[in-house]
Amino acid sequence: MGETDSLLKSFISTQDRKEYENLHWEGSFDEYLKLIKDDPKILRTSFQRLYDMIMSFGKTEYIDSKKKLFHYSFFDDPMGNGKDAVFGLDVPLMRFVNVVKSAALGYGTEKRVILLHGPVGSAKSTIARLVKKGLEHYSRTDEGRLYTFEWNIPKELFAVSGGQSIVPDPMHEEPLKLLPYETRDRLCAELGLGKIKGDLNPASRYIFKLLMENYKGDVLKVLGHVRVKRLLLSEKDRIGIGTFQPKDEKNQDSTELTGDINYRKIAEFGSDSDPRAFNFDGEFCVANRGIIEFIEILKLDVAFLYDLLGATQEHKVKPKKFAQTDIDEVIIGHTNEAEYKKLVANEFMEALRDRTVKIDIPYITKLTEEKKIYDRDYNNKKIKGKHIAPHTVDMAAMWAILTRLEPPKGYSLSLLQKLKLYDGKNLAGFTEDSVKELRKQSGREGMDGISPRYVQDKISNSLVSDLSETSINPFMVLNELEAGLKTHSLITSEEQKKRYLDLLQIVRQEYEDIVKNEVQRAISADEDAISKLCANYIDNVKAYTQKERVKNKYTGQDEEADERLMRSIEEKIDIPETRKEDFRREIMNYIGALAVEGKKFDYRTNERLHKALELKLFEDQKDTIKLTTMVSNVVDRETQEKIDIVKQRLIKNYGYNEESATDVLNFVASIFARGDAKRD
């Protein structure tokens, strides 16, 4: 037993006990006044506390399509190591934070319901869950601390409290609300604090009134029965965080929001209007000082609407048989588009529409951000027993994004090219202004398409499939995505299904191009060689456009720009002779624009040039290995050794395992063989 005790002691430190004492601080009303004098932030409203909580994690500024944006680190879920991180929604989240900031400053949005609106699976619930979790965490920090109180009743005054010696305030009220308005205002003015609005709830008001009668109006003696306590918000304990989910109309009523009569205590106190015979445990009461989340808010029955409207606009609720009671809480709801359309069409809901701030939460339209969703759940470190071949998740994410994009209007641009532009890639003839214009003309982009949930389901199916024991590849996942479209509940027409199938073909073709490129790079396998080739090309292009000569590094002589070298690279991406000058000037202008912004040119950011350089290097080296021989049954020893070297490069440099590297080499070999057959 002693050995167990010593082991337990090693886990429970003195620091843990000190932290517990700090989190469960108790003191007199006078001690509380000293606390707020030292730190007035204790008296913040729920919106102020929410805004400060988000900002406490910091933000970073960046430029996207010439627009200044902010990324708030809070939405990376630092409390849960990224489990609920929200990706690719910086613009909607900026709108959300701005609404909260406006409410914190008292500019009017504190009297509104914050409504997160968007398609299914667009992270609305995740954002609400993250905010609740953040407030819980923040209330446990010194910066985010807040306090409530309880009544300490002596035996001779038990009648006041119905026989209880300790009576917690049922709505976790701010202790300063115990002071009369005039005293409260004078105190706040003296301490340089903002006004504390609202009255006590009926339960504490009743006790306060009886004690005042007992002590003939001596407030100081009444406050002597008050113990101020640190308040820790907790959804599980129903303290400061409420959640309401609509159910069947027959199984719920509005008392779930405002509390209900405790019929067992009516006999004890003689009246159903005695506050001691009422449970102030409705979700609005529970969420006081914090936040309440309404899941699928627009499915609420009309009976709940009146309570919601009052709580929103006036910050008051009406418990049964009691006067209106003040509350201070953030009201956040979420809904999908179909329900919102019903709201717009329903004239009886006009009052709710008028008290709502709608924030659209669309699907992600940036490929790198969409990939982060799946990489979090499906990666080779997390998935045991099966290897996920490179590009598997990427291709699934690419298809999901394509389903959400609108065809570009007024531009000779494919949907895939639009996806790449949105993802920060450079295409000839398109600038940041072009991307800005494309986003502007696509008003509903991201509000339709395939949800991440569908893609996650199909990746999961592939992982448990018997098609391969050791790995899954993009074709397996794309086939799963295609098969699932037949029974997809959200596809409403054959036309929509055909469009999604066509987009799968585009993704398959893109994958084919990617792996051809990858194998070509594995064969040439020399990033330094590409960099040198690029530097040589840029030197010659610079000399050509500025009518200068190039110094030969070997002879030291000044020579004319190497036209043959430049054309051998440009022809790889089908730049005709008549367009060569325009292309070269575009490259130099792009380098110049980067220099002005203090950025260094990198061939990897220019997709066309990158591809041209790789193809040129591959052409120079491809004769060292005949990949097409892989599709025949007879491979000589020398060729097999070279193929094994390429395979090892794929494993080492690109993340393949033995099986997936062999598969991709066989696949690319069949493509080359097909190409050779066509030429023959």
DSSP conformation letters of 154-203: -GGGHHHHTT-SEEE-TT---GGGGS-HHHHHHHHHHHT---------HH
Can you give the length of the chain in residues?
680
- 381 burial class (0-12, 13-18, 19+ CB within 10 angstroms)? exposed
Segments of 361-484 assigned E as strands: 387-388, 471-472
Q: Which long-range contacts (CB under 8 A, 24 or more apart) does 564-568 make?
A: 565/536, 565/537, 565/540, 566/537, 566/540, 566/541, 568/616
The tokens of 358 are what? 């709608």
3-state secondary structure at position 84: coil
Pick from 110, 413, 224: nearest CA to 421: 413
Whole-number pLDDT of residue 508: 95
Q: Which residues pair with 59 in a beta bridge?
A: 72
What confidence score (pLDDT) does residue 309 get?
86
Instruction: Please give the pLDDT value at position 92.
Output: 95
Q: Where are the beta strands (DSSP E) in 273-412?
A: 278-279, 291-294, 316-317, 325-326, 330-335, 356-360, 387-388
Can you give the pLDDT at residue 680? 37
User: In 3-state terms, what secondary structure has residue 598?
Assistant: coil
List phi, psi (to 5°) of 355: -105, 20
For residue 79, what pLDDT is reported? 93
Q: At 253, which amino acid appears?
A: D
- Nearest CA-CA partner of 559 in 579, 539, 578: 539
Kindly list the distances between the CA atom of residue 619 and the CA atoms of 259, 517, 644, 650, in Å, as whole numbers in the listed order: 77, 12, 20, 19
Whole-number Å distance between alpha carbons of 393 and 385: 17
pLDDT along the chain (680 residues), means of 10: 59 70 92 91 94 96 87 95 93 96 94 93 94 96 96 85 86 94 85 82 93 92 95 95 81 82 82 86 94 89 81 91 92 89 79 89 94 90 84 96 90 89 84 83 87 94 84 92 88 90 95 87 73 87 86 74 88 87 88 84 80 78 56 64 84 89 86 56
Rounded CA separation 73/59 (Å)? 6
Write down the domain spans for the chain.
367-512, 523-679
Place of tokens 């070297």: 645
Nearest C-alpha neighbor of 328 from the set 484, 617, 106? 106
Q: Look at residue 679 in the predicted model and tell me its pLDDT.
A: 41
Q: How far apart are CA 159 and CA 142, in angstroms?
A: 38
